[in-house]
Amino acid sequence: MKAKLLFIMAKPLKVLILLCSICIFFSSCFKNLTKTNVLYQTDFSTDSIKNIFMSGFYNNNTQFGTVPLRIASFNGNKVLGFCNNNIVELNLAGLPSHYAIKIEFDLYIHDNWNNDLWKMNVNGNTVLLTGFSNFKNVQQSYPNWLGNGSALNPAGADAYTTQLPGACSLIHSANGSSEYKISMTIQDNSNSFQLQLSDAGAYLNDPCKRSWSIGNLAITAIFSN
């Protein structure tokens, strides 16, 4: 009887030890859980956009320098655009400690794109160099990089939708613009951040023929305790 009683009492003790072990394990895991901190976010619903600059050609396309920001309406939303042979630049300083940065935005490709070049730089490094097309008979590089033997893809590959009207020259076309959900996470631990988005191609300084715009921009720092 005594041995049986000890056996019965041992069961709760084993359960208690097991529960304590589980708590210790998960508490140690929680200490290293990934956390996020949104550093910058805008839906471009106001003309007062901080920390963003735009460069482009002016004086009959003979000079390149800072140009006024352009906030436009497209598909019921506000976007930064319409850009043609422009550079859009975002600068942030005094970042908290982190080990990675997540970049998210909606990219709209408007009108007559013919696998024209589009580029994204982060802190001076090119993280995406690609091309887009709105013509079914013209292939595009995206989601692959442009050149270097990368395979071409059908027009609109990996697009969120290709069934949007154009911004100007193809405004009456149901397939005049394509929307891409850009999301990229890069390793980074610097205390400043620079994002540059740019294009190059035909129709210099003629955004009615070919342009691009962005919406819902968010920059998020990723860190752990």
**Domains defined for the chain, CATH in brackets:** 43-224 (2.60.120.260)
The Cα 104–Cα 144 span in angstroms is 18
Cβ atoms of 112 and 210 closer than 8 Å: yes
Question: What is the residue-level pLDDT of the chain in tens, covering all 225 positions?
Answer: 544 444 444 455 555 455 555 544 444 444 557 899 999 999 998 766 889 999 998 888 888 899 999 999 999 999 999 999 999 999 999 999 999 999 999 999 999 999 999 999 999 999 999 999 999 999 999 999 998 778 999 999 999 999 999 999 999 999 999 999 999 999 999 999 999 999 998 898 899 999 999 999 999 999 987
The Cα 173–Cα 164 span in angstroms is 8
| pTM for the whole structure | 0.84
Of 118, 216, 114, 109, the closest CA to residue 167 belongs to 109
The Cα 28–Cα 39 span in angstroms is 27
